[in-house]
Chains A and B, each alone.
Chain A
Amino acid sequence: MSTDLESISSSSIVIVGAGPAGLAAASTLTAAGRPCVLIDMSVRPGGQFWRHPGTDLVLASKTKENQGHHHWSAFTQMRSQLEDAARSGLLDYRPGQQVWAIEQDADKHFLLYLTESVRSQGAPRPAPVAVSTLILATGAYDRQLPFPGWTLPGVMAAGGVQALLKSSRVPAGLRPVVAGTGPFLMPVAAGLARAGAEHIQVCDANSLTGWARDPWGAVQAPSKGLEGVEYAGSFLRHRVRMRMRTAVVAAMGDGRVEAVRLARLTRDGSVIQGSEWEIPADLVATGWGFTPSLELPLALGTATRVDTDGSLIVDADPDGRTSVPGLLAAGEIVGVAGAVQALTQGELAALAALSDSGASVSASRRRKLHSRSRRGARFARAMNKAAPVPQNWSSWLTDETIVCRCEEVTHGVLKQMPTDLDAQEPRTLRVAGRAGMGMCQGRVCGFAVSCLGHREGGDRVAELTSLGRRPVAAPVPLAEIAQTPSQLQISGTGAQ
């Protein structure tokens, strides 16, 4: 172990991610008197679900802290418990820090390399942390599909639009089209409506009747049902237009989005001939479900599998134990299933960590959590069945459509990627080979590239893993790479 490691108490447990899963884990552990370190990229706790502004903005914008939030009291309860734990020294909370690399040393300690998420000049860099029990709760980000014009300013990830509203109180557009698939499009449209947007269109490539394909699963998540009723009311009030089996197939404009082309789709996602029409818009908020943030578990060689939504997830037992001893996972990285499920899994992972270290854990508490988690998983399966990525989405692309935003690799170039190794045309390969190798390291284009490169009978776990494994989990300045983790091969792409 290198000498500049920060030593933390040997009984401490480190949690990465302060979203619903990580917070539930931290409050379960501290309630049991177990010291823990909670590391999170954001400056405030809450993760993607409970993203909220600081007190200064709450006052300045004359809004409430919990505007647009659900289950807010669950959050404030955990927050005040964790504030107490931090005051008593039981919790070491590290907001604004990102784990950019991770490895295991010969003694099976996890070594976490940290960087400030927002660098300031001359600030000392945080020392790496070593720990033997680690809970990863790094959540997910919007899953994207390219379409002609999606690189124009004014096209944004639906979750990003929501994040901007929740943390800065700024609507990304006032004449938005919210498009993609899944129930998450609804809170985004509702948030924009509340912020003053007009003529809002919600386009889902699937049909809501898809929910009926697994009605049993859908009724298992009563709180989502209630939220649905709430959105229906808000949509009526704000005259939000819901369109099923409809997609944004192009965005147009001079230097920014000014209009979009909509099209009606068949069940497999092909455009119905003659069904296209254009409408003015200043924002396209788009999302096709979520992609779990798997870079840290993949770097540790954790076993993974493909979930019902087509995402690569950590293969964990019902308590969150992974294939790597001492490593637990909770929340969206073990399957995209919403915030309530993430809370349940965070608590389960914390209980597993406690029981693995010899503490006694109430069997009935675990049983209750297990049955809640099974219900949550059922709901997620129903949601995934109702809101799949349409099979034929790539038929919306033209040869000029950029697929990899970072490296500006087009669909035309990717298509020329030969399947036969002997026939490789070097330039095409070199250009196409950059897809997924840009600053975002394939987080934005990875899913699409993996679909476009998918071969009949290809192994999806391998295809998704090759795009999900990254030399560093976040680009960092060269100075920080100087504390190079021993087993990592730094390829130089990590430097900004």
Chain B
Amino acid sequence: MTEFILDGKPIPFLPGQTIGAALMSAGVTSWRTTRVEEMPRGMFCGIGICFDCLITVNGVPDQRACLTLAEEGADVHRS
């Protein structure tokens, strides 16, 4: 089983799935908090246009979880 790490917690994925897909599959529905109202956000448009699903991957901030492929051992953090 391939896994990446979300804030210390292993998340399984199938090779070729995006980080967003793997998170949703694992029951994680949000990974960002909004600036003004501090509300949870996760995946919305699914195709890289809405920027709701931003996440930090291997130190690179503001990656779109719906476009970024999951990789074994990747270090992923909520933003």
Contact = CB atoms under 8 A, between A and B. Distances in A.
Interface in B22-58: 22, 24-25, 29-30, 34-37, 39-52, 54, 58
Nearest to A150: B44
| A interface majority secondary structure | loop
Contacts of A57: 14-17
A440 B35 contact: no
Given A169-B17, A440-B50, A444-B50, A141 B45 contact: yes
A256 B40 contact: yes
B68 to A, nearest CB: 5
Given A142-B45, A169-B14, A443-B50, A164 B62 contact: no
A399 to B, nearest CB: 14
Contacts of B25: 168, 170
A344 B63 CA distance: 35
A54 B39 contact: no
A153 B49 CA distance: 16
A8 interface: no
Given A120-B60, A164-B43, A154 B29 contact: yes
Given A60-B16, A141-B49, A405-B50, A118 B69 contact: yes
Given A57-B17, A119-B63, A159 B29 contact: no
B61 interface: yes
Contacts of A154: 29, 42
A464 B42 CA distance: 28
Nearest to A496: B62
B40 A439 contact: no
B21 interface: yes
A35 interface: no
Contact of B44 (A54, A58, A157, A496): A157
Given A54-B16, A157-B44, A117 B67 contact: yes
A452 to B, nearest CB: 19
Interface string A146-186: 00000111111101111110011110100000000000000
Given A156-B46, A161-B46, A255-B30, A118 B16 contact: no
A255 B42 CA distance: 11
Contacts of A172: 24, 43, 46
A128 B37 CA distance: 39
Nearest to B47: A163
A170 B17 contact: yes
Contacts of A121: 58-60
Interface string A433-461: 00000111001100000000000000000
Given A118-B67, A118-B69, A151-B39, A56 B15 contact: yes
Contacts of B42: 153-154
Given A163-B47, A496-B62, A408 B16 contact: no
A280 interface: no
B67 A408 contact: no
A254 to B, nearest CB: 10
A293 B66 CA distance: 19
Most A CB within 10 A of own CB, among B30, B42, B49, B60 = B49
Contact of B47 (A54, A159, A475): A159
A258 B20 CA distance: 20
B44 A160 contact: yes
A151 B41 contact: yes
B63 A118 contact: yes
A466 interface: no
A151 B36 CA distance: 13
A495 B21 CA distance: 26
Nearest to A293: B49
A61 interface: yes
A408 B37 contact: yes
A48 interface: yes
B3 to A, nearest CB: 14
Nearest to A255: B40
Given A118-B63, A160-B66, A496-B62, A444 B44 contact: yes
Contacts of A256: 29-30, 40
Contact of A444 (B21, B24, B30, B45): B45
7 closest Cβ pairs, A-B complex: A160-B46, A57-B16, A168-B21, A439-B51, A153-B42, A153-B29, A56-B15
Given A141-B49, A475-B51, 4 more contacts: A43-B69, A118-B69, A439-B51, A444-B44
11 contacts: A119-B63, A157-B45, A159-B45, A159-B46, A160-B43, A168-B16, A170-B24, A170-B25, A172-B46, A408-B36, A438-B51
Interface of A: 41, 43, 48, 53-58, 60-61, 117-121, 141-142, 151-157, 159-164, 167-170, 172, 255-256, 405-408, 438-440, 443-444, 475, 496
